[in-house]
Chain A
Amino acid sequence: MRKKLSEVDSGKLFLSGNEAIARGAWEHGVHFASSYPGTPSTEIMETIGEEYPEIDAQWAPNEKVAMEVIAGASFGGARVLSSMKHVGLNVAADPFFTLSYIGATGGIVIVSADDPGMHSSQNEQDNRLLGRAAKVVILEPADSQEAKDFTGIALEISEMFDTPVMLRVTTRVCHSKSIVEVGPRTNVPVKGYKKDIAKRVPIPANARKMHSRVEARLRALEDWGCDSPLNRIEKGNKSLGIITSGISYQYVKEVHPEASVLKLGLTNPLPWKLIGDFINQVDRIIFVEEGEPYLEERIRSRFLIDAKGCELVSVEGELNPELVRKAIKNGEQIPLTFSDVELPGRPPALCAGCPHRGAFYTLSKMGASSTGDIGCYTLGLMPPYNALETVVCMGAAIGVLAGLEKATGRDEMPRLVSAIGESTFVHSGITGLIDMVYNGNTGTVMIMDNSLTAMTGGQENPTTGKNLRGNPAPVLDLEKMVLACGVKHVRVVDPHDLQEMKKALQEEFDREELSVIITRRPCIMAYKPLRKTVAVHDVEKCVHCRLCARLGCPAISWNKEMKIPVINEMLCWPNCNLCVQVCPKDALSKDLEGVV
């Protein structure tokens, strides 16, 4: 068996940015970590869970709870970490902002993993703006080595200046791998809890003093940052000076290694003196930053320099070497030998065997649809289902359905249900359901329980019976919880039983009271069937109706010449017989005996 990484205490490892942050937390004595999964941050906690048993690590029901729990652990003198995707920090913003006033007893690192380009997100907010608004320290690593090292420096700054530190990373830092020099764990004692009401209770009289301390610490850090190795000037040709941070730095070095560069690792507060020195050393300045013109606006308003930035490098999408080359080398491009070919898109799709397919197929067949939420089931919006019409944020499926009913009345409302996964429901759907009960809504909420936080790669949550490290945990009883909220009608249905699924939806559509349908069937990542079975097609019986292909199953493709389905044996999921159910002539069959 491969050694755990905690048994490797020197040498070099090939790590992703996320793995390096986990490593940095371990090496620098983090005691406790709590997070909610979210791309591109998820692997930080997964790595801690798998590789570093010295860190007490757990999944929280949502980011706000994670932030509160690490706050408490820091009050108790432990070094702590919480990682989340950019929009996760919105959920945690309330404790985040006030924790900035309270400060850190044990060092606090909050990892904000932003997703420029929206590879797996609903917006591309730049959380440097949020970190600045909260007046916390922001560090931006540019590769895995820095991701590890900056985690350690963040903990030191946190304890030295009594502040939470945001480690702001982006998708290409999180999910890129490079070679990292590693070291052993430094064991830092837990300081213990000391009662200090003036420090930790921000009633107005205390909070005013706290705010003064926050401003003083930012001023102190401005000077500290000028001498810190986090920020550095790389002298080059003085005709062009580039100010950059994070992954953008790597693109700059790639396409223009001769330019002078100010690489900022500490981006709040800014090291003004160092920046002023750099500006004086070069003839002109270009800002290269991914996301918002955060450095550009702050530095230009301070020094009133004529410089270029976001008009050359777009605020939309993520950067890459082509874009940076174009921006800093007057439109230069590598000539293409082969042009782009127009090809059919390959959007993501629900997996073969996915439990959600039965639910969305049925909704679609009934001419019904849903207000949606964040998870794999967001893919219910795709053809052939087209059965998910709104997404706002985690948990919003329920509130949005409630509001639609308030605007139009139930009778006027199209046949809509809330479609929300069990992990998302626990995250922040519960309060929406309480609102529906309290304010007299009558719609139907469909909790899609696949017993896994699936979209982020398959994490445990309070309903799965396991914790982060896979050990047994109490199971949150969704039915009882829904009843306790005051919903009178709750039923559980297997979404792959198409008849039952349809019946449940029809009955709840007809009901004039609020109801909850729990569609329960495990995600295909949650278990491994013991026996491999494949759907078999009988050409003789086939009437070429194409109903099976309209399931939108990746394992079924359509042979146009013969007008028959072709089953992909590698993809066909053993414990699924949706295609068998939709075939009107029994041309598809599957031996399900013994498949669990």
Chain B
Amino acid sequence: MTKVKNVIICGTGGQGILLASEVLCSAAWRSGFDVKKSEVHGMAQRGGSVSSHVRFGEKVSSVLVEKGAADVVLAMEKMEGLRWASYLSPQGRLITCDLVIEPMTVNTGSAEYPDVESIIEAMKIPNLMLPVMTIARELGNLRVVNTILLGAASKLLPEIPLENWFSAIEERVPLKALEINKAAFIRGSGL
């Protein structure tokens, strides 16, 4: 049996994590895989840490990625990527971005936002840090951060053909935002 691919998409409530994981699942399903995903709703979504576990392969049992077994951790916020880095397998890769959303603990002065780049470097975590805000501004929409990052992730998930990513985006994204999301995906995958 082929190995199941494990992806964790993380960030903060309201960033479009659930939409990104829907697109990934749809693309994986279109590519002929069994797919499962798990996430948490409710209170956590009020600006708290949010994560979605996606697993696909010939046959998937657990809905949760096991710690130490993730192929990709896809972070929509810089510090959140670090929070989930321990889930990475030895071959795994962290795809993260320069977007900082300060948690309330930092806002109110009870905690300091860490120097994420230095920690990643010191821990030697294989990573790709995307300047998503710059790219999103160039594209003219700040809401496509999640799609840019999905594009980057697509390079690490070669089992899913490009056309299935596009079909999945078409299925999940509203018509008026379709072109810009496709453009965002291409920019992400080209970096």
A11 at the interface (CB under 8 A from B): no
Which chain B residues border A250 with CB–CB below 8 Å? 61-63
Extra pairs beyond A171-B40, A346-B79 (14, CB < 8 Å): A39-B43, A143-B63, A175-B39, A175-B41, A176-B63, A177-B38, A322-B67, A336-B67, A343-B82, A344-B114, A345-B105, A348-B45, A349-B104, A376-B46
A455 at the interface (CB under 8 A from B): yes
Task: Tell whether A554 pairs with B26 under 8 Å between CB atoms, given A175-B39, A334-B67.
Answer: no
Task: Tell whether A336 pairs with B108 under 8 Å between CB atoms, given A119-B44, A176-B36, A455-B42.
Answer: no
Residue contacts A-B, CB under 8 angstroms, 27 given: A39-B42, A40-B42, A120-B44, A143-B36, A176-B38, A178-B63, A179-B29, A251-B62, A254-B62, A254-B66, A320-B66, A325-B66, A334-B68, A337-B88, A338-B88, A341-B83, A344-B105, A344-B106, A346-B12, A348-B44, A348-B48, A455-B46, A456-B42, A457-B42, A550-B108, A558-B107, A570-B143
Task: Tell whether A119 pairs with B40 under 8 Å between CB atoms, given A322-B66, A341-B82, A350-B46.
Answer: yes
Check A177 against B41 for contact (C-beta < 8 Å).
no
B85 at the interface (CB under 8 A from A): yes
Main secondary structure on chain B at its contact with chain A? Answer: mixed
How many A residues have CB within 8 A of the partner chain?
A: 65
Docked pose: A96 CA to B13 CA in angstroms = 36
Check B29 against A321 for contact (C-beta < 8 Å).
no
Docked pose: A12 CA to B89 CA in angstroms = 32
Cβ 8 A contact of A120, one of B25, B26, B42, B142: B42
Check B13 against A178 for contact (C-beta < 8 Å).
no
B90 at the interface (CB under 8 A from A): yes
* B48 smallest CB distance to A (angstroms): 4
Which chain B residues border A321 with CB–CB below 8 Å? 62, 64-66
B119 at the interface (CB under 8 A from A): yes
Docked pose: A341 CA to B48 CA in angstroms = 18
B110 at the interface (CB under 8 A from A): yes
Check A383 against B104 for contact (C-beta < 8 Å).
yes
Cβ 8 A contact of A552, one of B60, B65, B107, B143: B107
- In the complex, per-residue mask of B22-59: 1 if CB is within 8 Å of any chain A CB, else 0: 00011001000011111111111111110000000000
Cβ 8 A contact of B48, one of A337, A346, A549, A571: A346
Docked pose: A315 CA to B93 CA in angstroms = 34
Check B43 against A455 for contact (C-beta < 8 Å).
yes
Docked pose: A247 CA to B64 CA in angstroms = 10
B interface with A by C-beta (< 8 Å): 12-14, 25-26, 29, 34-49, 60-69, 79-80, 82-83, 85-86, 88-90, 92, 101-114, 119, 123, 125, 142-143
Task: Tell whether A558 pairs with B109 under 8 Å between CB atoms, given A171-B40, A336-B68.
Answer: yes
Task: Tell whether A457 pairs with B41 under 8 Å between CB atoms, given A347-B103, A549-B108.
Answer: yes
Docked pose: A81 CA to B124 CA in angstroms = 53
- In the complex, per-residue mask of A174-191: 1 if CB is within 8 Å of any chain B CB, else 0: 011111000000000000
Check B61 against A254 for contact (C-beta < 8 Å).
yes
Which chain B residues border A172 with CB–CB below 8 Å? 38, 63-64
Check A175 against B67 for contact (C-beta < 8 Å).
no
Docked pose: A247 CA to B61 CA in angstroms = 10
- In the complex, per-residue mask of A318-353: 1 if CB is within 8 Å of any chain B CB, else 0: 001110010000000111111111011111111100
Check B103 against A344 for contact (C-beta < 8 Å).
yes
* A431 smallest CB distance to B (angstroms): 26
Cβ 8 A contact of A557, one of B67, B107, B125: B107
Check A556 against B107 for contact (C-beta < 8 Å).
yes
Check B104 against A39 for contact (C-beta < 8 Å).
no
Docked pose: A420 CA to B32 CA in angstroms = 49
Docked pose: A574 CA to B79 CA in angstroms = 28
Task: Tell whether A334 pairs with B40 under 8 Å between CB atoms, given A348-B48, A552-B107.
Answer: no
Docked pose: A119 CA to B13 CA in angstroms = 14
Docked pose: A194 CA to B135 CA in angstroms = 68
Docked pose: A534 CA to B59 CA in angstroms = 48
Which chain A residues border B12 with CB–CB below 8 Å? 346
Check A120 against B49 for contact (C-beta < 8 Å).
no
A382 at the interface (CB under 8 A from B): yes
Within 8 A of B (CB), among A340-369: 340-341, 343-351
Task: Tell whether A119 pairs with B103 under 8 Å between CB atoms, given A325-B66, A346-B12.
Answer: no
Docked pose: A177 CA to B64 CA in angstroms = 11
Closest Cβ neighbor of A554 among chain B residues: B47
Check B89 against A337 for contact (C-beta < 8 Å).
yes
Which chain A residues border B102 with CB–CB below 8 Å? 557-558
Docked pose: A254 CA to B66 CA in angstroms = 10
Which chain B residues border A438 with CB–CB below 8 Å? none
Closest Cβ neighbor of A173 among chain B residues: B63
Interface centre among A43, A344, A350, A379, by most chain B C-beta atoms within 10 angstroms, is A344
3 closest cross-chain pairs (CB), A and B: A120-B42, A39-B42, A344-B111
Closest Cβ neighbor of A350 among chain B residues: B46
Cβ 8 A contact of B38, one of A175, A344, A376, A554: A175
* B116 smallest CB distance to A (angstroms): 9
A384 at the interface (CB under 8 A from B): yes
* B148 smallest CB distance to A (angstroms): 15
Which chain A residues border B37 with CB–CB below 8 Å? 176-177
* B146 smallest CB distance to A (angstroms): 13
A303 at the interface (CB under 8 A from B): no
Check A351 against B42 for contact (C-beta < 8 Å).
no
Which chain A residues border B109 with CB–CB below 8 Å? 546, 549, 558
* A17 smallest CB distance to B (angstroms): 10
* A524 smallest CB distance to B (angstroms): 11
Closest Cβ neighbor of A341 among chain B residues: B82
* A217 smallest CB distance to B (angstroms): 34
A488 at the interface (CB under 8 A from B): no
A224 at the interface (CB under 8 A from B): no
Check A120 against B41 for contact (C-beta < 8 Å).
yes
A14 at the interface (CB under 8 A from B): yes
Within 8 A of B (CB), among A440-487: 455-457
Closest Cβ neighbor of A340 among chain B residues: B86
Closest Cβ neighbor of B106 among chain A residues: A344
Which chain B residues border A549 with CB–CB below 8 Å? 107-109
Which chain A residues border B41 with CB–CB below 8 Å? 39-40, 42-43, 119-120, 175, 457
- In the complex, per-residue mask of A556-579: 1 if CB is within 8 Å of any chain B CB, else 0: 111000000000111100000000
Docked pose: A343 CA to B143 CA in angstroms = 26
Check A570 against B142 for contact (C-beta < 8 Å).
yes
